[in-house]
Structure 1
Amino acid sequence: MKKILLAGLALVTLIACKNETKETEETPKNEVAFNTLLDDYYEEGLKLNPLNATMTGDNRYNDQFPDVLSAEYKQELKAYYNKYKDALVTYDDENLSETEQMSKEVLLWDINVNLEGMEYKKDLMPIDQMWSPHLMFGQLASGASAQPFKTTEDYRNWQLRVDDYLVWLNSAEANMRKGIEEGYVLPKSLIKKVVPQMDAMAQPDVENHLFYTPVTNFPEGMTEEDKNIIRTDYKKMIEGKVIPAYAKMRDFLAGEYMDAGRDSSGYSELSDGSEYYKYAIKYYTTTNMTADEIHNLGLSEVARIRTEMEKVKAQVGFKGTLQEFFNDVRSNKKLMPYDTPEEIIANFKEMLETIKPQVNQLFSVQPKTAFEVRRTEAFREKSASAEYNPGSLDGTRPGIFYVPIPDAATYNVYSDESLFLHEAIPGHHFQISLTQESEVLPQFRKTLWYSAYGEGWALYSESLGKELGLYTDPYQYFGTLGAEMHRAVRLVVDTGIHTKGWSREKAIAYCLENEAESEASIISEIERYMAMPGQALSYKIGQLKIRELRDRASAALGNKFDIREYHKQVLETGCIPLAVLEEKIDEWIKENKI
Structure 2
Amino acid sequence: MFRLQQKGYLFLLGTLLAGACQQPVQHSTPQATQDSLHHLAARYYDENMALNPLQATQNGENQYNDQLPIDISEAFRAKADSFYASYQQAIKGIDTAALSGNDRITYDMLQREFDVNREALSFHDHLMPVQQFTCLPLTLAQLGSGSSAQPFKTEKDYHNFMHRMERFAIWTDTAIANMRRGIATGYVLPKSLVVKVIPQVADLAKKDTANNVFYAPVKAIPDSLGAAVKAALTTDYAAAVEKYILPSYAKLRDFMQQEYLPKARSSSGIGDIPDGKAYYAFLIKSWTTANLTPEEIFALGEKEVARIRGEMETVKNSTGFKGDLPAFFAAVRADKKLRIFKTPAAILDSFKAIESKIMPGVKKMYGHLPKTKFEIRQTEAYRAASASAEYIQGSADGTRPGVFYVPILDATTFPYTGMECLFLHEAIPGHHFQISLQQENDSLPKFRRFSWIGAYGEGYALYCESLGKELGLYTDPYMYFGRLTDEIHRAIRLVVDVGLHTKGWTREQAIKYMMDNEPLSTQEATAEIERYMAIPGQALSYKIGELKIHELRNKYTKELGSKFSLSSFHDELLKDGCVPLSVLEQKMARWAKTH
Please give the TM-score of this superposition, normalised by the length of structure 1: 0.95
- Residues of 1 paired with 2:330 and 2:222: CA distance? 49
The residue aligned with 1:130 is: 133
Q: Is 1:8–1:114's contact at 8 Å kept on the other side of the alignment?
A: no
1:392-445 CA distance string (max 9 Å, x none)? 011110000000001111111110110000000000000000000113211111
Q: Is 1:85–1:108's contact at 8 Å kept on the other side of the alignment?
A: yes
1:280-303 CA distance string (max 9 Å, x none)? 100000011000000000000000
Answering whether residue 269 of structure 2 is matched by residue 269 of structure 1, we say: no
The residue aligned with 1:324 is: 327
1:70-89 maps to which residues of 2 (within 5 A)?
Answer: 70-89=73-92
Which of 498, 508, 520 is residue 505 of structure 1 equivalent to?
508
1:242-283 CA distance string (max 9 Å, x none)? 111111110100111000011100111111100000001000
The residue aligned with 1:188 is: 191
Q: Between the two proteins, what is the percent identity of the paired residues?
A: 49
- Residues of 1 paired with 2:156 and 2:292: CA distance? 49
Q: Is 1:264–1:503's contact at 8 Å kept on the other side of the alignment?
A: yes
Counterpart residue type for residue 457 of structure 1: Y
1:172-571 maps to which residues of 2 (within 5 A)?
Answer: 172-206=175-209, 208-571=211-574
The higher-RCO structure (CA 8 Å, 6+ apart) is 1
Q: CA deviation at 1:591?
A: 3.6
1:31-56 CA distance string (max 9 Å, x none)? 32221111000000100011111112
Secondary structure class of the residue paired with 1:380:
helix
Secondary structure class of the residue paired with 2:391:
strand
Q: Is 1:8–1:117's contact at 8 Å kept on the other side of the alignment?
A: no
Q: Is 1:63–1:158's contact at 8 Å kept on the other side of the alignment?
A: yes
- Residues of 2 paired with 1:281 and 1:392: CA distance? 30
Counterpart residue type for residue 4 of structure 2: K
Q: Is 1:4–1:133's contact at 8 Å kept on the other side of the alignment?
A: no
Q: Is 2:165–2:241's contact at 8 Å kept on the other side of the alignment?
A: no
Q: Is 1:490–1:536's contact at 8 Å kept on the other side of the alignment?
A: yes
- Residues of 2 paired with 1:324 and 1:263: CA distance? 32
Q: CA deviation at 1:207?
A: 5.3
Q: CA deviation at 1:111?
A: 1.1
Structure 2 unaligned runs (5+)? 11-28
Counterpart residue type for residue 151 of structure 1: T
- Residues of 2 paired with 1:350 and 1:498: CA distance? 40
1:37-116 maps to which residues of 2 (within 5 A)?
Answer: 37-116=40-119
- Residues of 1 paired with 2:550 and 2:296: CA distance? 19
Q: Is 1:362–1:567's contact at 8 Å kept on the other side of the alignment?
A: yes
Give the superposed CA RMSD: 1.4
1:351-407 CA distance string (max 9 Å, x none)? 000001101221011101000000000000000000000000111100000000011
Secondary structure class of the residue paired with 1:53:
helix
Which of 156, 159, 164 is residue 156 of structure 1 equivalent to?
159
Instruction: Identify if the C-alpha distance between structure 1 residues 27 and 150 changes in structure 2 by more than 3 Å, giving closer, same or farther.
Output: farther
Structure 1 unaligned runs (5+)? 10-25
Q: Is 2:9–2:67's contact at 8 Å kept on the other side of the alignment?
A: no
Secondary structure class of the residue paired with 1:221:
helix
Q: How many residues align?
A: 576
- Residues of 2 paired with 1:205 and 1:569: CA distance? 50
The residue aligned with 1:18 is: none
Counterpart residue type for residue 136 of structure 1: T
Counterpart residue type for residue 244 of structure 1: P
Q: CA deviation at 1:7?
A: 4.8
- Residues of 1 paired with 2:239 and 2:224: CA distance? 24
* Segment of structure 1 superposing worse, 162-171 or 402-411: 162-171
Instruction: Identify if the C-alpha distance between structure 1 residues 438 and 27 changes in structure 2 by more than 3 Å, giving closer, same or farther.
Output: farther
- Residues of 2 paired with 1:580 and 1:28: CA distance? 23
Counterpart residue type for residue 578 of structure 1: L
Which of 145, 148, 153 is residue 148 of structure 2 equivalent to?
145
Secondary structure class of the residue paired with 1:406:
coil
Answering whether residue 593 of structure 2 is matched by residue 585 of structure 1, we say: no
Please give the TM-score of this superposition, normalised by the length of structure 2: 0.95
The residue aligned with 1:3 is: 4
- Residues of 1 paired with 2:110 and 2:556: CA distance? 27
Answering whether residue 579 of structure 2 is matched by residue 576 of structure 1, we say: yes
